[in-house]
Amino acid sequence: MKRVAILFAGGPAPAANAVISGAAFTFLNAGIEVIGIKHGYSKLIDFDGSKPLIEGTDYFKITQDRLEFSRTEPGIMIGTARANPGKQVSNPDHLRDPEKSAPLGRVYNALRSLGVDALISIGGDDTLKTANKMKLYQDTLPADKTRMPVIHLPKTIDNDYSGIDFTFGYFSAAETIAAEIRNLNRDAAAGQAYFLVEAMGRSAGWLAYGAAIAGDACLVLSVEDITGELESSETVTQPDGTQKVRKVMNLDAVMKKMTSMMVAREKLGRNYGVIVIAEGLAEYLPYSYLSGIARDDHGHIAISNIDIGKAMAKMLGDAYNKLTGKNRKINGVQMGYESRCCVPTAFDVMLGSQIGAGAYRALVEEKLNGVMVSVGGQFNVSFVPFEQLVDPTNLVTKVRFIERTSDFYRLARLLELPTNK
């Protein structure tokens, strides 16, 4: 192995440079050249061989000089993007379809044109899906074609990854949002008002819960909470004319839960507070709220366009007035972007550095292919095969929700004021 490529895709996360630097440093020390692919797959996905990739524009060589003081730097030294070369591949048969697999082929050819012997991808569950498809695509190539091992390093401030306890950047992002919540609490107390904070977390509530607990919010709700009396359903007509029953929030029950908390706080003289919701609740809004909302390359609705925090703040104000006959100012605040490139905490720098070094251990020491690096216990490294993380029939990853029976979930509930007293 003479040259490896490192690529970062999807949304930013604190300690990204700790991961990149941790990986690059270990390879360089072993005499292996490292190149950083700039801005995810966006520079590779259209490669047709007619023009070479340009050093400095499309990629650059990572040197020891570049790594000086880099592990604690915010941002992403190689940039990122959401370009998805596996977009058209939704089952293993598509890998043998020349048209559907063509973008993966162009990425493969682009990397081979640079003399890359192995690919290290850093990203969330969608990037894990792409890494798996890159590995599977190469399995379909003729025997005389060079195979590049693919190693994936898990990244998401949402912390909803299977196969690892905590993802790098989660605690840094949670602390950044928690600090803002603490500020809002003081603002709310001064003005006898409420803030309804929308935190990132499309699929699970880890970030909302962590920020709410650390920020001393009075209530937190996420997708895991949409069950029982908070759950409802509706029938919608699909574009092909078929009908589908989908799970939605029981908005009346959600508003009742929030207003009951507000009334309970008022009995203690607390006419203010901060409520935290996960942005993923937008997926559980009735369809009338989602009609016409754009979707990205991975099929996700553009949650930021919905601004569920402000929408639910308006609903809550109306529900509170209906219940009490009084008015209470409730401000919707959307948070998340400000936390993605913050200065990383010491824990995330250590975790990210170990995850990065794990790529070297996977490729050089263990000679593995198609695995995700995981860290647990006393920062012990382990390797999880892609097939344990990705459904082999539809090539989709499995979300790790907060378990409602877990002590972490119970902690948030114990810190809430009872509404039945």
Domain 175-340 has CATH 3.40.50.460: yes
pLDDT at residue 290, rounded to an integer: 75
pLDDT at residue 288, rounded to an integer: 80
Residues 6 or more apart in contact with residue 174 via CB below 8 angstroms: 157, 207, 210, 211, 214, 339
How confident is the prediction along the chain (421 residues), in pLDDT tens digits per residue?
Answer: 999 999 999 999 999 999 999 999 999 999 999 999 999 999 999 999 999 999 999 999 999 999 999 999 999 999 999 999 999 999 999 999 999 999 999 999 999 999 999 999 999 999 999 999 999 999 999 999 999 999 999 999 999 999 999 999 999 999 999 999 999 999 999 999 999 999 998 889 999 999 999 999 999 999 999 999 999 999 877 777 888 888 999 999 999 999 999 999 999 999 999 999 999 999 899 888 776 666 655 556 666 667 889 999 999 999 999 999 999 999 999 998 899 999 999 999 999 999 999 999 999 999 999 999 999 999 999 999 999 999 999 999 988 999 999 999 999 999 998 876 5
CATH 3.40.50.460 residue ranges in the chain?
175-340
pLDDT at residue 129, rounded to an integer: 96
Backbone angles phi, psi at 121, to 5 degrees: -105, 140
Residue 208 near residue 278 (C-beta atoms within 8 A): yes
* Amino acid in position 354: Q
At residue 393, the 3 state secondary structure works out as coil
Structure tokens at 411: 């902690």
pLDDT at residue 292, rounded to an integer: 63
Select from 258, 185, 192, 225 the least CA-distant residue to 412: 225
CATH 3.40.50.450 residue ranges in the chain?
3-167+344-388
pLDDT at residue 203, rounded to an integer: 87
Output the CA–CA distances (angstroms, integers) from residue 103 to 19, 85, 113, 149, in the order listed.
27, 5, 15, 18
| Residues 144-175 as b or e (16 or more Cβ within 10 Å = b) | eeeebbbbbbbbbbbbbbbbbebbbbbbbbbb
Backbone angles phi, psi at 312, to 5 degrees: -75, -25
pLDDT at residue 287, rounded to an integer: 82
- CA atoms 226, 228, 229, 235: torsion sign: positive
Distance CA 67, CA 131 (A): 25
pLDDT at residue 304, rounded to an integer: 65
pLDDT at residue 140, rounded to an integer: 94
Structure tokens at 196: 């309804």
- Whole-prediction pTM: 0.92
Give the count of beta carbons closer than 10 Å to the beta carbon of residue 371. 26
Which of the 8 DSSP states describes residue 154? E
Give domain 3-167+344-388's CATH architecture. 3-Layer(aba) Sandwich (3.40)
Output the CA–CA distances (angstroms, integers) from residue 183 to 107, 189, 195, 215, in the order listed.
46, 10, 11, 9
Select from 41, 73, 82, 77 the least CA-distant residue to 60: 77
pLDDT at residue 182, rounded to an integer: 97
Q: What is the largest CA-CA distance in the chain?
A: 77
